[in-house]
Each structure stands twice: as C-alpha cells, then as structure tokens.
Amino acid sequence: MKLCDSIRTIPDFPKPGIQFRDVTTLFGDARAFRMAIDHLLHPFAGDRIDKVAALEARGFIMGGAIAHQLSVGFVPIRKSGKLPGPRMSENYTLEYGEATMELHEGALQAGERVLLVDDLIATGGTCEAGIKLIRRAGAIVIGSAFIIDLPALGGRIRIEAMDVPVHVLCEFDGD
C-alpha cells in the first residue's frame, strides 16, 4: 500500500487553481491511518519524547494517535480565541494577512522534549509559530512530522533553518 495514494486531491478548493490535499480519506482507511502514524514515528524511534504537540485542526487527529502510541501527553496548539485560561500567543504571516496561534501556559515544562505534528507543511508559517511557542515555554522541539509536504512553497526549508528536523511521508508538486 502506498500512503500517498490514499490522499484525495480536490481541484479548485478553496479557490480556483488550488489543489487541496485531503487527508481525511487517509484517516478513514484504518490500515493507511495506522501505517501513517507508524511511519511518522519511525525516525524518532529511540528518542526521548515527553509530549506530542499538534497544530489545529487535522494535526490533532494525528497528534492524539501518536501521543497514545508513545504513552505521552498531548498538547494542542490552537488558533486564537479557542483556548480558555492563560495562554501564550504567537502571530504569523499568511498569504494575505496575519493569524495567531496559542498555547496554554503551563502545558509544557522547561526541558521537555516535544515532537510537533501536523497534516501538511506548506509555507511553514503555522509550524514556525508552533515552534516559537514551544520554545518560549522552555521546551525543546526534537523534530516535526507531517503527512504531506508541498516543497514548492518552501515550508520545509523554513523549519529546517530553525534547526528542527522535518519528516514527511508524501510530497506533492504545486500548491
């Protein structure tokens, strides 16, 4: 089974010219989903991982499964306004504007080793914001893992420039 084949492409979504890579078809296939989780963890086998952090929203599906597999805690990094209580915020740039990601204060402890996951890396802006939040909490990002990379958008290079290893399962041309 080839994991990339279980990802559906939806043309012209959310706007004309965009090829949307839909991982929900992978999530719906039990064998492909299990294989994806196993393969995402493979390069980190033997590493100490204290927590898994994941980026909203599809990253939560993978992050929860990975945290369960590792028997470690799960930390959601959410879009602005969705976390109650004290939180840290990090702004990042989108194609047309700015957005904010947030992390609960106290969700991570100084020195904890964190694996950051999401479904897709495109420009890397959301992931960069997540890394900055994790580091501001005093934790260490030991790596990042994604099902899909869109190399033409440069996100992987951006994250590797932050000294964070990037592991991906599938690459797709274009955006």
Catalytic residue among 8, 21, 31, 58: 58
Task: Single out the residue of 119, 94, 99, 116 nearest to residue 107, CA to CA.
Answer: 116
Catalytic residue among 21, 34, 56, 95: 95
Residue 36: Cβ within 10 Å count: 25
Q: Amino acid identity of 55? A: L
Residue 95 annotated among the catalytic residues of the structure? yes
**Quick check: 145 and 170 in contact, CB under 8 A?**
no
Distance CA 124, CA 130 (A): 10
Angle at 166 between CA 47 and CA 92, to 5 degrees: 120
Residue 135 annotated among the catalytic residues of the structure? no
3-state secondary structure labels for all residues of 108-161? CCCCCEEEEEEEEECCCHHHHHHHHHHHHCCCEEEEEEEEEECHHHCHHHHHHC
Q: Could you list the active site residues? A: 58, 95
